[in-house]
Structure 1
Amino acid sequence: MILVGELSLWVALLMAAWTTTVSFSGGLQGRSDLVKSGERAMYATFGFTLLSSIGLWTALFTHDFSIKFVASYTSANLPKAYLFTAFWAGQAGSLLFWGLILTMYCAIAVFSNRRSNRAMMPYVTGTLGVVSLFFLMATAFGANPYERLDWVPADGRGMNPQLQNPGMAAHPPMLYLGYIATAVPFAFAVGALITRQLDAQWLGAVRRWALVSWFFLTIGIVLGMWWAYVELGWSGYWAWDAVENSSFLPWLTVTAFLHSIMIQEKRGMLRKWNVTLVVLSFLLTILGTFITRSGIIESVHAFAQSSVGNWFLGFLIVVTALTAWLVSTRLNDLQANAELESMVSREAAFLYNNLVLIGICFATLWGTIFPILSEWVKGDKITVGPPFFNAVNGPLGLLLLALTGIGPLIAWRRASVSNLRRQFTWPVGFGVAVFVTLIALGMRDAYALISYLLAGFVFGTIIQEFVKGIGARRKMYGEGLVSASLRLVARNRRRYGGYIVHFGVVVIFCGFAGLMFKRDVTAVLKTGESVKATDPYGHEWTFTSQGISRFEQLNRNVVAITFDMTRDGKRMGLLSSEKRQHVNSMGEPTFEPSTEVGILESPKQDVYLVFTGAVDADTAAVHIHFNPLVWWVWFGGIVMAFGGVIVMWPQAQRAERESGYMAQIPMGRERETMSGAGV
């Protein structure tokens, strides 16, 4: 099977080349036989890429150390779960994994449009073929996972200890699923530009794939934050690392697109903007991949120095030039059908929202590439750290949070004074009430107070929208509270699923603000000695060392420190942190020792224990952090993902009973009820 997998990679490369050639030829010549051949070749490309992937997994599970990739990232004593995830632990395997997901997406996109969008599909298929061809070429010629060693070692080097974590097992696939999904909207944008079919028709397919990209990027980013928090031992989850930023950038542009697409669907506006956002999202994924895989930046997330980076840089330049030319020659076809009527309207609020998202994207992009540019120009790498990102993106993030609450409250086209007064009274009042309450409780940090004021405002907006919608359904259909709530969401998944996503954003901002009050203490303790610390809520904690223990576990030797904890005299249990030395099957050390933190988690705060090292056989140095509200960051991510599922779920059909009710409602009242309550 390993040999079959190796040969399948080259066949997949040939199939991608065939797809590209005959699809564009079929579209230009109007030959349906060539178009069909290109589509079948796309299915074959996926099939052979899948076979190649199975071959590599076979090599990993059978410990074929004659293959360089297997010897570099596994060992005979590596747990089987991580043998599976070793597929994407290194440059070569992750590129093949990328190709597997890409060709799967391409096959799904081609199959799902086999009867629709036929005029543009040859160019969509051809564009997907070009992207697939590039990635398969980068894999086969730049970083081949089937490269052989001149000699067969007795055991492999093993996997990086920081990758032996459930979060890292799931984080890369989620990011890849989100990253790579941007290729499909990009292909549809190219197809629409070539055929000049730039009306709302192409947006249907693009929107679904943009939602897929946003959904998986959201999960991947949150999982990456969680992994950094529990694995790296620095008591944080976002450091504005270049690789972290690389996943954040396309998430921002895809989010902007999902908002502005509603304006094009509703008013026929922002055509140029939407095409640009689709293209930009794909280009940012290629830029992020270049940053990650070129080795030009130092990061715990990045791959080692590799010539593959040159492949991605060249591809990025060529694609940017071609798409810029294509868009510039279609500007007349991208003229809007309507103009912005008022700066105080829902479409204007969405536009402001997009400008803030792009502002955050630009600031993050500049801070990410500035060290690269400075090294190219001056020869010295000037690093831009978290203070820059926080200073720029902090205020923009708060403005974005405010717009999250403002947008749903303003009417389309033009908002009247009475509309604004009626819509804003409750949400503003709720936000002010939160603000006053927190001041009364003693909170004085300005950033946190503004964050919670705006969070209260947005939460008030969401409550108001649900209350209005549920009330309208109960009045119109005589439904119970639970039934009305469920059917409200089911009948308008995009709107109310979006509100659930917004609620998740509010929860995450509240969690972010909590870290403004974190505290920590450092201690060096012998067995039986204690250290006292006061948490942000004023509780006094006592940590008593239970001594250092040493033992072997799975593929590692462990040195652990355990503490008995009390809070205000009440026992809170034991908490341990470890130093792990990973070894191969012969007991030889493979990597530098890694730290496994101990976390006592609760919705109020995390007690975060880091074993920094053993001073002697009975003395341990530790760092203890009190991190408020971190639990809510993970919960907010779950809520956002849940809202994304609702938005992506196929729209339910209205029941006949509702149709009967609606038929009895006068036309004017029906329009007012539907637009005001979103039923």
Structure 2
Amino acid sequence: MTQFAHILMLLSLVLATLGTLFCIFGLGRNKMTASSLKLLENANLAVTLFYCLASAILFFGFWSYDFSIKYVHDYSDLSLPLFYRLTAFWGGQAGSLLFWALSLVLCGAYFQSTESYTKLSLETKIWYLLFYFSILAFFGVLLTTYNNPFEILSPAPVNGRGLNPLLQNPGMIFHPPLLLLGYGGFTIPACLALAQALSLQGGTQYNISKTETAWHVCTKPLILVAWLLLTAGIILGAWWAYMELGWGGYWAWDPVENASTIPWFFATAALHFGFIEQYRNKAHRFHTLFMALTCISAFFATWLVRGNVVESVHAFGSGGVGPLLLCFVIGTSIVAFLTVLTMPKKGEPFNGLETKEGFLLSTSIVLITISLIIGLATLWPVISKLWSDNPVGLQASFYNGVILPLLTVVIALLTVCPWLSWKQGLNHAKYFLAVLLIFIAFMGIFWTFFAVKDPTPLIAASFSVACMASWALYFMVLKHPLQKLSPVLVHMSLAVISLGVAFSGPYKVEQEVALERGQEIQIDTFTVKLLEIYEGRERTGRYDFLEAELLVTRNGKETGIAQAQRRIYASFPQNAYAEASTIFSLGKEFYATFLGLDEKTRAVMRLSVHPLVNWLWIGGTIMSLAPFISVYANRKRRKSTQENPPENS
């Protein structure tokens, strides 16, 4: 079966390559017909089937302990529970690339089955399939050469190497596939955007002189779902870092963390350009370019993670794919820019900064700036080699000093934006004044009652509250319909996250102590007492553990028992892993990490207090789910339009 799976990968590469060449030949000779298109569409469905079968074979290999497959051997063992064993599919480089390709072909097959696709012109479809097959061919090269997930070990080992214990966590189970599903989802609108630009059919639904619906309208469900999946993946990754790594934080500006945010900022900027195009019939070039760059930046992020470019605590090894990924990123970027330059200029010039259009444009520019800064700062060790023999990476203080103020600017822009008109000045000035008063009031409250003195956290927290109030007021007072609820919730949840970041980062309290049984210590407003130290083995024998049991009280009242562990896994006996323990709170959350025993057999603990940290997960959850409302509302509106068409249709 393993050889059959590899043959399926080779067939997928052949079909994708032939599909690309067929599209180029047909467009060059202007000889594409409906029957030619049908042949290409069938080839796409065949590639989808091949990837599904190959993925099913790899899943079966994990399920059946088939250690003759090198990838299964490297990322599982006999003691690994079934749930973790199956999700080890994307635990390594080859499997995650296969899952990304699987996500792409499933999104492609879905889009091909939609009514929006069937209504596209023949030329647009061919251009779309040209870009789509080119990307599939690139995946085929990676998966049949440098990152073959079906490489064979002979003779087959009796047991596997095992899955990294850090990946044996629910957050890390869902974090990678959500990111990859988001990457796959954004590929479709990116290909279609470039296709319409080249087929000269790229009008909008608001311009009846054109013959087909705009790409962003055709693919809106995919764009929204891809964005929410990418958002959920990043939030889950931060939650995993907070709960599993045991260092008491959720974001360290690690290169791998940075890489995941770059496509998100591009995608979010593209969404804001989309609003300008939808409501003002402007920004067509910008919208097309940044949707394409969203897809390309996903490959750039992959190059950072898998190309052995920069050092990271959880980056993949190179595996030889670095140069290929870099060439792909450079090549597709050139194609995207040249394509956008061929687009005719449409629409009037942009309105001034004092308008809603100007604020949306400003928000997009700030988001793009943040993404570029993160990318350049992450690459700084590589860039600095040009003039230094000892290049060093930029510290977290640089990112915090540059990125956090820019994110505060975004929150400020989003606070004001609902009350601006599209053409000039303020709408509903009294509501804007109310929001401004809320901002000023909370500046005073945070300064006086919460001792928030640092400028950036103070301004960020105050704007966060004002932003929540602004969008809630905007929705309730102006009585907007259901389809407006999704952007309202997204912007409110971003403000919730911003509020959590403003407090949990700068005002975290941390202390490292050695405790004897029965000893108490004070940290912030909490009193912590070590009750007992336990030693044991997990019931299936996967790991041995030391556990420190802590009684935590606050103002004389018990808040809970923290049970932090230090684990040594049977498959990874050379390392000890921390299993942190938290006591949940919407205010100050207590966090404990067991670092080990000292020479006096005292428990060495890292204790910390995180104010409002859970607001990040609450806001992130709402932000990840809110776009579903737009998908539902758009589907309901389309159904209503079909059942009750306009009289002049």
Pairwise TM-score range, normalised by the shorter structure? over 0.9
Render the CA deviation track for 1:380-414: whole Å, top value 9, x for unaligned: 33201211111111211111000111111101111
- Alpha-carbon contact 2:256-2:314 (below 8 Å) kept: yes
Q: Residue 182 of structure 1: CA displacement? A: 2.0
Q: What does residue 458 of structure 2 align with?
A: 449
Relative to structure 1, the CA distance from residue 590 to residue 180 in structure 2 (aligned partners, 3 Å threshold; closer, same or farther) is farther
Matches within 5 A, 1:175-186: 175-186=179-190
- Alpha-carbon contact 2:69-2:150 (below 8 Å) kept: yes
Q: What does residue 37 of structure 1 align with?
A: 39
Q: Residue 507 of structure 1: CA displacement? A: 0.5
- Alpha-carbon contact 1:426-1:464 (below 8 Å) kept: no
Q: What does residue 313 of structure 1 align with?
A: 326
Q: What does residue 612 of structure 1 align with?
A: 595
Render the CA deviation track for 1:331-351: whole Å, top value 9, x for unaligned: 4x1x13212343311101111
- Alpha-carbon contact 1:581-1:592 (below 8 Å) kept: yes
Q: Residue 654 of structure 1: CA displacement? A: 10
- Alpha-carbon contact 1:530-1:545 (below 8 Å) kept: no
Render the CA deviation track for 1:583-625: whole Å, top value 9, x for unaligned: 14xxxx4551111111111111211101111225842111110
Q: Residue 237 of structure 1: CA displacement? A: 0.6
Q: C-alpha distance in 1, partners of 2:253/2:228? A: 21
Q: What does residue 207 of structure 2 align with?
A: none
1:396 to 398, 406, 420: 406
Render the CA deviation track for 1:73-120: whole Å, top value 9, x for unaligned: 111111111111111111111111111111111111222244211230
Q: C-alpha distance in 2, partners of 1:87/1:342? A: 50
- Alpha-carbon contact 1:22-1:35 (below 8 Å) kept: no
Q: Secondary structure at the match of 1:156?
A: coil
Relative to structure 1, the CA distance from residue 442 to residue 559 in structure 2 (aligned partners, 3 Å threshold; closer, same or farther) is closer
Q: C-alpha distance in 2, partners of 1:598/1:625? A: 11
| RMSD of Structure 2 on Structure 1 (CA) | 2.3
Q: What does residue 209 of structure 2 align with?
A: none
Q: C-alpha distance in 2, partners of 1:620/1:290? A: 42
Amino acid at match of 1:556: Y
Amino acid at match of 2:519: E
Q: C-alpha distance in 2, partners of 1:321/1:580? A: 49
* Pair 1:439 & 2:447 matched: yes
Query: How many pairs were matched up?
Result: 627
Q: Residue 545 of structure 1: CA displacement? A: 3.4
Q: Residue 25 of structure 1: CA displacement? A: 3.8
1:225 to 215, 232, 238: 238
Q: What does residue 54 of structure 1 align with?
A: 56
Amino acid at match of 1:187: C
Matches within 5 A, 1:621-636: 621-636=604-619
- Alpha-carbon contact 2:355-2:420 (below 8 Å) kept: yes
Q: C-alpha distance in 1, partners of 2:83/2:367? A: 38
* Pair 1:174 & 2:163 matched: no
Q: Residue 650 of structure 1: CA displacement? A: 3.8
Matches within 5 A, 1:365-444: 365-375=375-385, 378-415=388-425, 419=427, 421-444=429-452
Deviates more, 1:384-393 or 1:203-212: 203-212
Matches within 5 A, 1:173-212: 173-200=177-204, 201-212=214-225
Q: C-alpha distance in 2, partners of 1:336/1:402? A: 30
Relative to structure 1, the CA distance from residue 376 to residue 14 in structure 2 (aligned partners, 3 Å threshold; closer, same or farther) is farther
- Alpha-carbon contact 1:597-1:610 (below 8 Å) kept: yes
Amino acid at match of 2:522: K
* Pair 1:577 & 2:564 matched: yes
- Alpha-carbon contact 1:167-1:224 (below 8 Å) kept: yes
Give the gaps of 5 or more residues in structure 1.
471-487, 664-679
- Alpha-carbon contact 1:26-1:35 (below 8 Å) kept: no
Give the gaps of 5 or more residues in structure 2.
205-213
Q: C-alpha distance in 1, partners of 2:599/2:618? A: 40
Q: Secondary structure at the match of 1:59?
A: helix
Matches within 5 A, 1:53-72: 53-72=55-74
Q: What does residue 522 of structure 1 align with?
A: 512
Matches within 5 A, 1:328-347: 328=341, 330-331=342-343, 333=344, 335-347=345-357
Q: Secondary structure at the match of 2:44?
A: helix
Render the CA deviation track for 1:145-194: whole Å, top value 9, x for unaligned: 11112433221110000000011000001000112222112211221122
2:144 to 140, 145, 148: 140
Render the CA deviation track for 1:622-649: whole Å, top value 9, x for unaligned: 1110111111110000111222211222
Q: Secondary structure at the match of 1:29?
A: coil
Q: What does residue 500 of structure 1 align with?
A: 489
Q: What does residue 670 of structure 1 align with?
A: none
Q: Secondary structure at the match of 1:199?
A: coil
Q: Secondary structure at the match of 1:142?
A: coil
Deviates more, 1:644-653 or 1:605-614: 644-653
Q: C-alpha distance in 2, partners of 1:355/1:71? A: 46
- Alpha-carbon contact 2:508-2:609 (below 8 Å) kept: yes
Amino acid at match of 1:17: T
- Alpha-carbon contact 2:560-2:583 (below 8 Å) kept: no
Matched-pair identity in %: 28
TM-score, normalising length: structure 2: 0.92
Render the CA deviation track for 1:312-334: whole Å, top value 9, x for unaligned: 11211222222333333x14x1x
* Pair 1:261 & 2:274 matched: yes
- Alpha-carbon contact 1:546-1:562 (below 8 Å) kept: yes
Render the CA deviation track for 1:482-512: whole Å, top value 9, x for unaligned: xxxxxx542xx1x321011011011101101
* Pair 1:6 & 2:32 matched: no
Q: Secondary structure at the match of 1:592?
A: strand
Amino acid at match of 2:507: F
Q: Residue 451 of structure 1: CA displacement? A: 1.7
Q: C-alpha distance in 1, partners of 2:400/2:24? A: 46
Q: C-alpha distance in 2, partners of 1:629/1:649? A: 32
Relative to structure 1, the CA distance from residue 134 to residue 590 in structure 2 (aligned partners, 3 Å threshold; closer, same or farther) is farther
Q: Residue 655 of structure 1: CA displacement? A: 12
Q: What does residue 117 of structure 1 align with?
A: 120
Matches within 5 A, 1:537-576: 539-554=525-540, 555-576=542-563
Amino acid at match of 2:250: Y
Q: What does residue 16 of structure 2 align with?
A: 16
Render the CA deviation track for 1:564-588: whole Å, top value 9, x for unaligned: 222222223321111111114xxxx
* Pair 1:465 & 2:474 matched: yes
Render the CA deviation track for 1:347-372: whole Å, top value 9, x for unaligned: 01111111111111121111111112
Amino acid at match of 2:195: G
Q: C-alpha distance in 2, partners of 1:226/1:176? A: 18
Q: C-alpha distance in 2, partners of 1:209/1:372? A: 35
Q: C-alpha distance in 2, partners of 1:106/1:508? A: 33
Relative to structure 1, the CA distance from residue 655 to residue 319 in structure 2 (aligned partners, 3 Å threshold; closer, same or farther) is closer
Deviates more, 1:38-47 or 1:360-369: 360-369
- Alpha-carbon contact 2:593-2:605 (below 8 Å) kept: yes
Amino acid at match of 2:554: R
Q: C-alpha distance in 2, partners of 1:655/1:299? A: 49
Q: Residue 35 of structure 1: CA displacement? A: 0.9
Render the CA deviation track for 1:274-302: whole Å, top value 9, x for unaligned: 12211211221111011111122222331
Relative to structure 1, the CA distance from residue 184 to residue 654 in structure 2 (aligned partners, 3 Å threshold; closer, same or farther) is closer
Q: C-alpha distance in 2, partners of 1:606/1:204? A: 43
Q: Secondary structure at the match of 1:626?
A: strand
- Alpha-carbon contact 2:231-2:264 (below 8 Å) kept: yes
Amino acid at match of 1:131: I
Q: What does residue 108 of structure 1 align with?
A: 110
TM-score, normalising length: structure 1: 0.88
Deviates more, 1:523-532 or 1:70-79: 523-532
Q: Residue 440 of structure 1: CA displacement? A: 3.3
2:284 to 266, 271, 286: 271
Deviates more, 1:43-52 or 1:150-159: 150-159
- Alpha-carbon contact 1:549-1:561 (below 8 Å) kept: no
